[in-house]
Chain A
């Protein structure tokens, strides 16, 4: 397989994304290196073939957004909305990620080795997210399906209005959101955490994680609740 390099200090971003949307599908190029991303928005968005993209440096907003089948690695940090609405494949951030990482991801794996900002995994719809560091407040808000593994701490209102996504946290949780509760870790949970940590390349004891899932008390309207939940 061939390797290609795009230097965003010399080439417009559109050239890179156009190649990734067209030429890359011919299957001759297996690996693309992106130099000098310098915080540009929309790097490697909307990919839909199994190509490897390595972004060397800091990416701006929405990097790897809507990803399908591709593997996108960012060696620096990622801005708002990294891997948002990912369908499949993998997005791996070696540094930290800003707000809304992995928002509404339907599938695939998002790995953030550093910390993630606020609202990580908001409205998660089936993707998996592994965060090596801590996540900010309101993470996994209204998350519907998929798993989040958080190796550090979580901020306020973790898993607020959670549906069927399951969260695993190793560190401290500042507060749980409405309708989220701690549950026993089953053998299946431990195996799932072990598998995700392995895929992320992170070394933690899967037994040290706590499971958080929905109480499901918000699923049905309760006229007697008097707006107190």
Chain B
């Protein structure tokens, strides 16, 4: 079992309150996912040539005391790249104006225990083990701003409880996915993708779905076509919620084995595994509340 939550605000004024509205949603899914939690938030994109990466230092010896400033100096010294760093405990967001592969390669060589969570122009990502309330407090989720976000509370069934196996998973740039369910053919998907040069970081089944869909998008499919190929290739139980810089997308397996409910008003679209996580939202009593149908695509634009 796991919990998923998603929130997309239509009213620009609500962007400032995105995190504040979302935290009770995430905490509402604690019973469905008490072991880990995480979220990806999408905000105004950086300039065309700039990129940012979210990094996790909890697996290094220094953990939350990791010397982020030192990392910034080292990148300047070795690569001549000016990097701006926003540390938040064992997470940090690095922004720079070069190809992200250069930075990521240097980090992999010099700090192999730093775990890169996301790359892009719009996405920031936080995930860790702990209850949703603990994780939300640790990274100040209530203060997050942006147009939309994708969150997850995990009760592990398919792989170990570790920060890197928490959700959301990302692949490529500015794409993330959270999953409630379990896939039955993740290894088949891996065997299909790995010879195409796609590298996996964990043994988690959700990572296979994430990398499969991102691969389709990179091959030129639009989101709807990629999701249709997902229905054809991904076997098992799933409710997937995905984020791109301008979209939130939801699909459920043909048996609708895993729940989802949507509440939509003029101000927002909110998605959760159960209504419990939507009950506090302003105006929800007059929202259009519905259950998304199995094997249908739901895509909302930010």
Q: With a CB–CB cut-off of 8 A, which chain B residues contact A57?
A: 285
**Residue B289 at the A interface, CB < 8 A?**
yes
Q: A39 within 8 Å of B by Cβ? A: yes
Contact with B along A99-119 (1 / 0, CB 8 A): 100000000000000010110
Could you mark each residue 241-267 of chain B with 1 if its beta carbon is under 8 Å from any beta carbon of chain A, else 0? 000000000000011100101000000
The answer to whether B276 and A39 have CB atoms under 8 Å apart is yes
B256–A136 contact, CB under 8 A?
A: yes
Docked complex Cα distance between A77 and B275 (Å): 9
Does B300 interact with chain A (Cβ within 8 Å)?
A: no
Chain A count of residues within 8 A CB distance of the other chain: 22
Is B291 positioned at the interface, with any CB of A under 8 Å from its CB? yes
Q: What is the bound-complex CA distance between A177 and B294, given in angstroms? A: 18
Shortest Cβ gap from A21 to chain B (Å): 23
Is A79 engaged at the interface, CB distance under 8 Å to the other chain?
yes
Main secondary structure, interface of A, reads loop
The 8 Å CB contact of A60, one of B255, B276, B294, is: B276
The answer to whether A137 touches B279 (Cβ under 8 A) is no
Question: Which residue of B has the minimal Cβ distance to A118?
Answer: B256
A117 to B289, CA, bound (A): 14
Nearest chain B residue, comparing its CB with the CB of A80: B259
Whether A98 and B279, one on each chain, are in contact in the complex, defined by CB atoms closer than 8 angstroms, is: no
The answer, yes or no, to whether B106 is at the interface (CB within 8 Å) is: no
Q: Verify A117–B291 contact, CB threshold 8 A.
A: yes
Known contacts being A96-B291, A118-B294, is A39 close to B259, with CB within 8 Å? no
A98 touching B289, Cβ below 8 Å = no
Q: A39-B275, A60-B275, A76-B289 are in contact. List 11 more A-B contacts (CB 8 A).
A: A38-B276, A39-B277, A58-B275, A58-B279, A79-B274, A96-B290, A98-B259, A118-B294, A136-B256, A136-B294, A138-B255
B: contact size bracket: 10 to 19
CB-contact partner of A98 in B277, B278, B291, under 8 A: B291
Contact of A40 with B by CB under 8 A: yes
Contacts of A61 in B (CB 8 A): 274
Alpha-carbon distance A79/B274, docked complex (angstroms): 8
List of B residues within 8 angstroms of A99 by Cβ: 256, 259
- Find out whether the CB atom of B256 lies under 8 angstroms from the CB atom of A58: no
Enumerate the 8 nearest inter-chain pairs by beta-carbon distance, A residue then B residue, closest first: A39-B275, A38-B279, A39-B276, A58-B275, A118-B256, A39-B279, A39-B274, A98-B291
Interface string of B195-237 (1 = CB under 8 A from A): 0000000000000000000000000000000000000000000
**A123 → chain B closest CB, angstroms:** 16
Q: Are A38 and B275 in contact (CB under 8 A)?
A: yes
Please state if A118 and B255 are interface contacts (CB–CB under 8 Å). Answer: yes
- On chain B, the residues within 8 Å of A137 by CB distance are 254-255, 294
Assembly CA distance A144 to B36 (angstroms): 42
Residues from 151 to 170 in A contacting B, C-beta threshold 8 Å: none
